[in-house]
């Protein structure tokens, strides 16, 4: 199932809730565009909720890294929340857990990110 998404804005944070498989198909550029749009709106914090993501391919990882690069290039940051066990393992294997700050839940992230 290709990835579906919902967006929200809480204060000065852009929330991106993903659902399905993040495989970097035609949805990849769209997701990156959403992050670019939020930057254009002056938002420097993006929280990506992975609670409903079953699978991430190497292309999907590329999409996450592209979003992170865009944010960091302007002094922003991307945070990941609620990865499943499978996605957590993937983040560890790819060492992305050292690049991204990962929170157990969206609520946890919102309470800890200034």
Q: Catalogue all structural domains in the chain, each as residue range(s) with its CATH number.
A: 4-112 (3.30.750.24)
pLDDT at 114 over 80: no
pTM of the complete model: 0.95
pLDDT, tens digit, for every residue of 74-88?
Answer: 999 999 999 999 999
Kindly report the number of other CB atoms within 10 A of residue 79's CB atom.
Answer: 23
Angstrom distance (rounded) from CA 79 to CA 23: 19
pLDDT at 25: 83
What pLDDT is stored for residue 24 in this prediction? 82
Q: Rounded distance, CA 114 to CA 103, Å?
A: 14
Q: Is 83 helix (H, G, I), strand (E, B) or coil?
A: coil
Averaged pLDDT for residues 63-80: 97
9-27 average pLDDT score: 93
């Amino acid at each position: 199932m290709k990835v579906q998404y919902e967006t929200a804005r809480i204060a000065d944070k852009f929330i991106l809730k993903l659902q399905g498989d993040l495989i970097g198909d035609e949805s990849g550029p769209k997701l990156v565009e959403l992050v670019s749009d939020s930057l254009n709106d002056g938002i420097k914090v993006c929280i990506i909720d992975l609670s409903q993501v079953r699978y991430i391919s190497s292309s999907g990882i590329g999409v996450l890294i592209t979003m992170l690069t865009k944010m960091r290039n302007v002094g922003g940051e991307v945070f990941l929340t609620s990865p499943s066990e499978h996605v957590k393992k993937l983040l560890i294997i790819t060492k992305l857990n050292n690049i991204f700050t990962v929170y157990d839940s969206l609520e946890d992230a919102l309470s800890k990110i200034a």
